[in-house]
């Protein structure tokens, strides 16, 4: 993981505490306004917006932790799924 608090390109992050515990967040990109990050949340396969401040706090407080940088083929499947989903802010539509 980088020294900063921004997510790694193609990075996977485990949510280990809180409402989304057990989810793996795959980093996709920052939003155009650069106020949030876009992730694919697995195993639910939900596209999520996470405010940058929330992501940084999650790292600092060990709510989420870096797992690994995904191989290109795995990341490309996640990106394709992300692009077919509606994006939700915080809550899963399921």
The full DSSP string for the chain is --SSSSPPTTEEEEE-SSTTTT-EEEEEEE-TTSSEEEEEEETTTEEEEEEHHHHHHHHHTTSEEEEEEPPHHHHHHHHHHHHHSPEEESS---
When pLDDT is cut at 50, 70 and 90, the band that residue 89 belongs to is low
Query: Does the pLDDT at position 9 exceed 70?
Result: yes
CB contact at 8 A, 51 and 62: no
CB contact at 8 A, 10 and 25: no
When pLDDT is cut at 50, 70 and 90, the band that residue 4 belongs to is low
pTM value is 0.87
């Amino acid at each position: 993981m980088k020294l900063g608090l921004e997510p790694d390109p193609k990075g996977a992050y485990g949510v280990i505490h809180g409402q989304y515990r057990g989810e793996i967040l795959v980093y996709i990109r920052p939003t155009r306004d650069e106020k949030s990050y876009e992730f694919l949340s697995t195993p639910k396969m939900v596209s999520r917006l996470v405010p940058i401040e929330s992501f940084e706090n999650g790292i600092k407080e060990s709510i989420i932790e870096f797992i690994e940088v995904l191989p290109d083929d795995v990341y490309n499947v996640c990106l394709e799924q992300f692009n077919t989903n509606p994006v939700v802010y915080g809550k899963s539509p399921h």
